[in-house]
Amino acid sequence: MSSVAALWNRCWFTPASARSLRATRIILAAHALWVVLSKPDIPHLVSWPAVFFDPAQRAGYLRFGIVRGGEPVEWMLYAILHVTLAAVIAGALPRIMCAISALLLYHFAPFEEVIIGMPHTHFAGLTVATIGLFILAFAEVPPANGDAMSPEYRWPVTLIQLIYSFIYLFAFLSKIRFNGIRWFTWTTIRAQIAGNWGVHPNAFGMQVATRPLLCWAIVIATLLFESLFWLCVFMPRLRLSFVLAAIGFHIGILLTMNIHFASAPLLLLFVNWDSLAERLRSRRKVLLAR
Amino acid sequence: MTAWLIEGPKLLAFLFFFALGALVMRSAGDERRRTVSLFILFVLGVSGLAGVTQWDVWPFTNNMLATGRGTDESHERWLAFYGVDSSGREWRLDPYTWSPVFDSVMQTWISMRYDELSRAQQEEVQHFLLTRANETREALAAGHRIGYEKYLDALGCPYWWRLKRWKDVPHEPYRAVRVYRMDFQVGAMVRGDHRVTRTLFMECRQ
């Protein structure tokens, strides 16, 4: 076997536990349900006047099955989405429920921004769940209990983690694509923060924006974090550092720019659930022995 | 037709993802690992293409974020929505007034499309904005929660941009909605000059 094939197999097919796959399924569905419950008016969009829907973008709407009118049908489908996501969390008919949930997310997630061409749909919290639940629908269904090991439980989890990590890697590439490495200078951070002031004044953010050294530190940390986070998918020893860095990154952005990252709870995908379960089991044994 | 030239390949990418996934579901034995590998390669390929070219194929997305590179000389422009009561007092509208569309999405839509519309279409938009502003006013006046707070209250997931909330509303319907252009310079803001130039862009009346 060539070294490339061996590396490929090690990355994607090293046996993993059924628990990790079940945990991934529950995290994705619970997070999606939280986001969906937080967007209660989504189906209402199809009743908006036709003038809001640019006829030139009709193909884009149809790609997601979005058609004006038929609001009662949309409400029914939206209710079904809540039920199927709850079923995924409960582990009921996981393959079918994951598939239905993913299809409905594919339909509904673009609603919020479809009238302006979906510039930030990826940032609204349902992108990883949409692809992830499809992947889980296609993958082998793990047993409802126990920690059986199989290569079949590795690749779906790794693929979903990698898709999550693309959020950071591609955000880095987008900066390079449109501005080159020059984006990573302190004045960019200053302008990003100050640009929000006229809309939502943020005194803490402005304190940061007026300190060049702090802005330099932020921009260098952003460069390293966004470009390297994906490594922790394949190097579990790096996970704790990168996940803590991600939490700090999102808190910093929230405090300085008022930008909230809806997908942040999906960092739970990087928790080693086997190790956690083992620790809990050991602790329980110690407590029972006392 | 041109739109389908753009959207068609995107739809095909999604359908191919779906078809490969179905193959993964049905595969077994020696073929299985090869099929799964092909599926993984496809997902990485389409996602990678979106990331490198920044061509969005949602849900295989480019994750484009904060690409702007402003300087102190950069000018910023936003739109701000206000309701007007019978005494002429202006009330800033809550950013969830247009839910399911967020304030900034409505701003972008107006900036992109409003000027291109016919007079009749502009009137239709104005009528819609005033009606929606009053529906939201009624809900807030009655103490109902709106937007992401409707079911989950403070535990809900807000829109990604956390704009200031404006929940104070008059006890009478708005007579008009005004949309202002807000202009300012980044460098001035940093130097402590927080002046924002406000220019009336549109007024929606009954």
Instruction: Give pLDDT, residue B190.
Output: 83
Instruction: Give pLDDT, residue A225.
Output: 97
What gap in Å lies between CA B98 and CA A41, rounded to an integer? Answer: 10
CB contact (8 A) between residue B10 and residue A44: no
Q: What mean pLDDT comes out for the span A79-89? A: 98
What gap in Å lies between CA A264 and CA B107, rounded to an integer? Answer: 26
What gap in Å lies between CA B184 and CA B197, rounded to an integer? Answer: 6
Q: What mean pLDDT comes out for the span A122-148? A: 95
A16 touches chain B (CB under 8 A): no
CB contact (8 A) between residue A190 and residue B72: yes
Measured between beta carbons, the chain B residues lying within 8 angstroms of A195 are 68, 70, 74, 76, 186
Residue A1 has pLDDT above 70, yes or no: no
Per-residue pLDDT 10s for chain B (206 aa) are: 688 888 999 999 999 999 999 999 999 988 999 999 999 999 999 999 999 999 999 999 999 988 888 788 888 899 999 999 999 999 999 999 999 999 999 999 999 999 999 999 999 999 999 999 999 999 999 999 999 999 999 999 999 998 999 999 999 999 999 999 999 988 888 888 888 899 999 999 87
pLDDT digit string, tens, across residues A44-69: 999 999 999 999 999 999 999 999 99
Q: Which residues contact A98 (CB under 8 A, 6 or more apart)?
A: A25, A29, A88, A133, A134, A136, A137
For A2, A41, B118, the CA distances from A8, given in Å and listed in that order, are 10, 44, 58
Measured between beta carbons, the chain A residues lying within 8 angstroms of B150 are 40-41
Closest CA to A88 of A134, A144, A21, A25: A25
Choose among A12, A134, A191: nearest Cβ to B70. A191
Q: Which two tokens stand for residue B104?
A: 């900034």
Choose among A139, A179, A200: nearest Cβ to B67. A179
Measured between beta carbons, the chain B residues lying within 8 angstroms of A124 are 159-160
pLDDT digit string, tens, across residues A220-274: 999 999 999 999 999 999 999 999 999 999 999 999 999 999 999 999 999 999 9
Measured between beta carbons, the chain B residues lying within 8 angstroms of A10 are none
What gap in Å lies between CA B165 and CA A170, rounded to an integer? Answer: 31
Residue A216 has pLDDT above 70, yes or no: yes
A241 CA: distance to closest CA in chain B (Å): 23
Q: What mean pLDDT comes out for the span A115-129? A: 93
R_g of chain A, CA atoms, integer Å: 22
- Give me the percent of chain A exceeding a pLDDT of 70: 100
- Give me the residue spans of the domains in chain A: 16-153, 166-282
Confidence of residue A288 (pLDDT cuts 50, 70, 90): confident
Q: Which residues contact A50 (CB under 8 A, 6 or more apart)?
A: A68
CB contact (8 A) between residue A115 and residue B101: yes
Say if residues B145 and B66 touch (Cβ distance below 8 Å).
no
Tell me the sheet residues that pair with B183. B77, B197
Tell me the sheet residues that pair with B180. B80, B200
Closest CA to A27 of A76, A78, A85, A110: A85
B81 CA: distance to closest CA in chain A (Å): 12
Scanning the structure block, which residue is given the tokens 């932020």?
A: A218
Q: What angle do CA B132, B97, A62 make, to 5 degrees?
A: 75
Measured between beta carbons, the chain B residues lying within 8 angstroms of A58 are 3
Closest CA to A19 of A151, A123, A163, A153: A153
DSSP 8-class letter at B118: -
Closest CA to A243 of A232, A235, A253, A252: A232
- Whether this prediction's pTM lies above 0.90 is answered by yes
B61 CA: distance to closest CA in chain A (Å): 6
What gap in Å lies between CA B28 and CA A250, rounded to an integer? Answer: 42
pLDDT digit string, tens, across residues A9-41: 999 999 999 999 999 999 999 999 999 999 999
DSSP 8-class letter at B60: B
Q: Which helix or strand (DSSP H or E) is residue B46 part of?
A: helix B30-53
